[in-house]
Amino acid sequence: MDGVPNGVPRVPEQRRFDSDSTPASPEPAATATAGPEGPAESVSLRFSVLGPVRAWRGDEAVATGSPQQRALLAALLLREGRTATAAELIDALWGDESPSQALAAVRTYASRLRKVLDQGGEGRRPGGTAAVLVSESGGYAVRGLAEGALDLAVAQDLATEAEKARSAGDLCHARETLRRALALWDGETLAGVPGPYAEAQRVRLEEWRLQLLESRLDMDLEQGCHAEAVSELTALTAAHPLRERLRELLMLALYRSGRQAEALAVYADTRRLLADELGVDPRPGLSELQQRILQADPSLAEPSSPAPEPAAVPVRPAQLPATVPDFTGRSAFVRELGDILASAEGRVMAVSALAGIGGVGKTTLAVHVAHQARTAFPDGQLYVDLQGAGARAAEPETVLGSFLRALGTADSAIPDSLEERAALYRSVLAGRRVLVLLDNARDAAQVRPLLPGTDGCAALVTSRTRMVDLAGAHLIDLDVMSPDEALALFTKIVGEERVASERKAALDVVAACGFLPLAIRIAASRLAARRTWTVSVLAAKLADERRRLDELQAGDLAVKATFELGYGQLEPAQARAFRLLGLADGPDISLAAAAAVLDLPVEDTEDLLESLVDTSLLESAAPGRYRFHDLVRLYARACAERDELSPSEPGSALSRLLDFYLASAAGVYAIERPGDRLVDHLATTTHEGLVFGTRESALDWLFAEAECLLACVMQSLPAPTLRRAASLLLVAKDLSESGASSLFYERAAAALCRVAQGLGDAHTEAQARTALAQVHVRAGRFDEAAVEASKAMSLESAEDPWSKCNAPLERGVIAFYRNELEDAETYLSVALDNFRADKNASGEASALCNLSRVHLALGKTSTAISLAEQGIELYDSLGAALRLANGRYALGLALTVAGRYDEALAQLTAAMVVFRENRQPLWEGVTHFRIAEVHLAADRFPLAAAHAEQAIALRGIGGEWRRGTVLTVLGKALLKLGQPGRAHACWTEALTIYEKLGSAEAAEVRELLSPVAS
């Protein structure tokens, strides 16, 4: 029929509440549903939403409760089996005016509905079948309905059947099927159901009902039933006076009934009404129909012979943007996407979706791949920028109109509704091989109507959102470039000659760009346009983190602007999380630490972080860990300075993070060192940390958080949080003792010392200098260690119990290693008295074990054994397994000197096992060395050499000085094994180390080398 679009309308897409969800297929749950325990008895639940919300079990009505309860049921039924979260349901029932107890109310409504729907509310129906109303993932869903149990689903099926019949030319069956569909309405849709979601669905479903009516009336007129249609159309136009399609049908029905004047009067009334009410003219189709009536167009009187539509002219679109001439790298992705697109040539519908952070090169890669694949799609290539990252994303209806025109469809043949345009689009593409590039998509809902529907076609989609809900799509997460790819791109733009002479500076530039293609292109373009700049000049400009984003802009390209688009799409809670999480230093952040930063429960934090991952503004580094791209982190911090509502919130967020790390690390320290009083002298925290059930889980956490924890120390050095930063450093000493993070730990201790000294905080300075002394001792730098320990002891105003005990302890250890044995005994005795005064049993045991070694060096072997045994007894009483290993180590040394080799080996071997189990490679290596000394003294030279080599193999065994001592023992064992050449090499290396350090041990090694050399 001329002027009236053909086809049966599909139900309009839901625009709210579940607009991003993939429509679920009806579950094949028949009247007798089989569950995991076998066939179930008949249930036969039926529901109606096309009128009042009602339910029946068989022929018996089921009470659906209060209006709000019916609103909840309606919301779940309209989800068609998909889960609705509690937050979505609250929004559906109350919108922005939800009561304070909304969540509890939703749970109550759900519980009541489950009782009436599931026959008893036990979560399962008789026979073991799954419940109708189920709870999952913090939300609810209606599942397991029999086919045809929901009147809306039946109406949809009937409308689909009618469309197929009409397409096949069977108008009689199509009309009858539509009549059956329309008969399912029983008054107003969702009558009496409150809430914003119900109101939106009433509008949606009423619109669809009218479209179905118009389609049925259209077929009535096609079959010559114009006289019968006049009365119905007259009533409908009176009820819907602004609906032009109904007036168009009425005009045609009147004209075919011989009532030409009345038909023209309808047009005149319509034109006047539209002018008065809306200030617009009738649409072109209505005006054209008026002219044809005035001209008595013969074709209007022939319902079986509609006027021909303008013929569609086949067009081969070629809309791809130009590919960049300097496309670089991405070879694996190019091959992967090329293979996917090639499969479409073999008559398979292919969809690939590329996701990634803004500026990562999604569009560049997609355009490059699309150009390479053009020959596989001889019928053309379509392209559109969907502007999904902007404030006004492209509407699918508009895009489809553009695509249809590009494919040769006349404007007059393009229907109005999204569903009809999508159907026509798929029809036009049927039998053709076309590639569709959908760039910068907002979400899957925007993309679905734009996908071809037949084999042989393919679609490439780019988006900042990972489209896990785009059924059948091949998903690709695009990351930043590799360093080599980044340098190659930079070189292509800048020129080989300029980069070759400053390769290191060029690497610094691409690293400052975070290997992000957009940032690299901007930086390189700026350099290429400034011939007087060197690469080093650009690298220096980008080294300033506070200015980096401002430097990364050239012309209309700007990294900050790209990130701004994504940030502007965030909900308020997401934006706050984005800003605050960006404040934390460290390579990544754990879920628990992020919850502390945001001051939210872990579950809510995870939801927020995962939603940020979906937008590509945050990366999932590993399960439970998240990280920012370097440039995104800088942008997040800029947003925090600009947008945070409370100026104190950034500081509060970092303070909560410091508290979290300190409280958690203190828990690890207490497990590792029971009886140690340090945990009683720590700075006070107001936020809790983690609680660990086992030593293994505590150590797992500590070593996993090493970089983040020490970064937090460095970030917390300003005065308000300085003392808590010092406490965190002290309780994390395992990171230094184990050798796992010694360098980073040392840097943090040195920075803490400088800041404390500058602020005149003697308390914190003493702690920092003592920690530094401990680091230097383990690295064999005894002179530096002595300086720091002495300064810590001189800070009498510190009045810090921990420093007063540990500074003389370290000073005594240093004196021992420097062979200043009397001083060592004096310092360690002071430490012992201080530990006892502080009632620190763990520290007392440590002082006793170190005194044992001094007495051993003084030739007091029996006293040394006794002191070590006292230390072991204290450690054993505390249940301190790791510290007990230190005691066994000291006792093993004393027993070795006493010639009790087997006993010594037993103590040292037991200690080594504990060190290994507690991830202390430094102490494990040193114990191997001591075992080597025992075997050497016992003339077991092969074993001595083997343990010495294992000590060397464990990197970081205690610095260069310790390496020299191990090499000396290894050389002695090798000489006894008849390998003087290898022995000479070991001693030569040891002599070089000792001479460099100015150690007294150099004289011994020279004596060893002399006979070997001769």
Q: At what angle do helices 649-672 and 591-598 cross, to 10 degrees?
A: 140
185 and 256 in a single domain? The answer is no
Three-class DSSP category at 32 = coil
φ and ψ at residue 818, rounded to 5 degrees: -90, 10
Report in angstroms the alpha-carbon separations of 948 from 899, 903, 912, 974: 20, 19, 14, 10
> Does 120 share its domain with 261?
no
16: confidence class by pLDDT, cuts 50, 70, 90: very low
Confidence of residue 10 (pLDDT cuts 50, 70, 90): low
Q: Give tens-digit pLDDT for 361-382.
A: 889 999 999 998 888 888 889 9
Output the six-digit token pair for 483.
């360093």
Q: Convert the pLDDT of each residue in 816-852 to its tens digit.
A: 989 899 999 999 999 999 999 999 999 999 999 999 9
- Residue whose C-alpha is closest to residue 283's, from 236, 237, 246, 232: 246
Higher pLDDT, 599 or 478: 599
φ, ψ at 87 (rounded to 5°) = -65, -40
Poorest-confidence range of 10-14, 147-151, 377-381, 799-803?
10-14
Number of domains in the chain: 5
| 451 belongs to a structural domain | yes
**What would the mean pLDDT of 611-623 be, rounded to a whole number?**
87
Distant-in-sequence, close-in-space partners of 543: CB < 8 Å, separation ≥ 6: 508, 512
Task: Report the pLDDT value the prediction gives residue 556, as an integer from 0 to 100.
Answer: 65
User: Can you give the pLDDT at residue 43?
Assistant: 52
Do 354 and 210 lie in one domain? The reply is no
Domain span at 127: 1-223
Q: What is the pLDDT of residue 922?
A: 81
595 in a domain, yes or no?
A: no
| Res 765: pLDDT | 95
**Beta strands 435-441 and 381-385: pairing type?**
parallel
CATH number where 249 lies: 1.25.40.10
Q: Judging by DSSP bridges, how do beta strands 553-554 and 557-558 pair with one another?
A: antiparallel
Check: CB of residue 1003 under 8 Å from CB of residue 992: no
Q: Sorting pLDDT into bands at 50, 70 and 90, what band is 388?
A: confident
Cα 52 to Cα 50: distance, rounded to the nearest angstrom? 7
pLDDT at 210 over 60: yes
Task: List CB contacts of 303: < 8 A, sequence separation 6 or more.
Answer: 1, 221, 222, 223, 224, 226, 256
Structure token pair of residue 834: 């201080």
368 and 290 housed in the same domain: no
Domain CATH number, residue 368: 3.40.50.300
What percent helix, strand, coil does the chain show, rounded to 5? 60, 5, 30
Whether 191 is in a domain gets the answer yes
Instruction: Give the pLDDT score at 306.
Output: 42
Q: Where is the domain boundary, 456, 477, 498?
A: 477
Which CATH number does the domain housing residue 995 bear? 1.20.58
Compute the C-alpha angle 542/546/549, nearest 5°: 60
Helices (H) and strands (E) in the chain, counts: 45, 20
Q: Please state at what angle helix 649-672 crosses helix 695-704, rounded to 10 degrees.
A: 140
CA distance 972 to 995: 19
Residue 24 in tokens: 């679920």
Q: What is the pLDDT of residue 11?
A: 63
Q: Does one domain contain both 391 and 433?
A: yes
Within this chain, do residues 21 and 132 fall inside the same structural domain, yes or no?
yes
In this prediction, residue 273 carries a pLDDT of: 84
Residues 209 and 245 in one domain: no
Q: Closest by alpha carbon to 714, among 742, 690, 683, 750?
A: 750
Residues 232 and 214 in one domain: no
With 0.85 as the threshold, say if the pTM is over it: no
180 or 230, higher pLDDT: 180
| One domain, residues 103 and 154 | yes
Q: What is the DSSP letter of 10?
A: P
Q: Is the pLDDT of residue 86 over 90?
A: no
pLDDT tens readout for residues 735-752:
888 777 888 999 999 999
Residue 350 shares a structural domain with residue 360: yes
Nearest to 143 by CA among 154, 135, 151: 135
Alpha carbons within 13 angstroms on the beta-carbon side of residue 179 total 9
**Mean pLDDT on 171-197:** 89
Task: Beginning with the edge strand found earlier in the chain, give each strand of the sheet holding 589-590 in spatial order.
Answer: 589-590, 625-627, 619-622
Is the separation of the CB atoms in 807 and 792 below 8 Å? yes
Of the residues 444, 477, 510, the one at which a domain ends: 477
The three state secondary structure string of 347-401 is CCCEEEEEECCCCCCHHHHHHHHHHHCHHHCCCCEEEEECCCCCCCCCCHHHHHH
Predicted confidence at residue 956, as pLDDT, reads 55
- Among the candidates 477, 502, 535, a domain finishes at 477
pLDDT computed for residue 33 by the predictor:
37
Name, in order, each residue with C-beta under 8 angstroms of 170's C-beta and a sequence gap of 6 or more: none
Mean pLDDT of the chain: 85
Buried b (16+ CB within 10 A) or exposed e, 438-449: bbbbbbbbbbbb
pLDDT at 692: 94
Distance, CA of 18 to CA of 20 (rounded, Å): 5
Q: Is residue 959 part of a domain?
A: yes
**Closest residue by Cα to residue 23 from 448, 423, 452:** 448
Alpha carbon 820 to its chain centroid, in Å, reads 56
pLDDT in tens, 856-894: 999 999 999 999 999 999 988 888 777 888 899 999 999
Same domain, 354 and 425: yes
Q: How far apart are CA 459 and CA 450, in angstroms?
A: 9
**Does residue 313 belong to any structural domain of this protein?**
no
CATH at residue 105: 1.10.10.10
3-state secondary structure 561-620: HHHHHHHHCCCHHHHHHHHHHCCCCCCCEEHHHHHHHHCCCHHHHHHHHHHHHHCCCCEE
Region of poorest pLDDT, from 168-177, 300-309, 927-936, 1001-1010: 300-309
**Does the residue 42 lie in any domain?**
yes
Angle 244-256/284-294 helices, nearest 10 degrees? 10
Q: Where are the alpha helices (DSSP H) in 719-820?
A: 722-731, 734-737, 742-759, 762-778, 782-794, 801-817
Q: Which residues partner with 125 through β-bridges?
A: 129
Which residue type does 344 have? A
Q: 521, exposed or middle or buried, with CB in 10 Å at 0-12, 13-18, 19+? A: buried
Residue 687, in any domain of the structure: no
- Bridge partners (DSSP) of residue 353 are 461, 475
**What DSSP string runs through 647-712?**
TTHHHHHHHHHHHHHHHHHHHHHHHHSTT-GGGGSSPP-SS-----SSHHHHHHHHHHTHHHHHHH
252's CB contacts (< 8 A; 6+ apart) are: 1, 3, 4, 221, 226, 263, 289, 300
Closest CA to 547 of 557, 539, 556: 539
- What pLDDT does residue 29 have? 33
295 and 406 share one domain: no
- Does residue 757 form part of some domain? no
Q: What is the distance, to the nearest Å, from the Cα of residue 396 to the centroid of all Cα atoms in its chain?
A: 28
CA dist 362 and 170 (Å) reads: 47
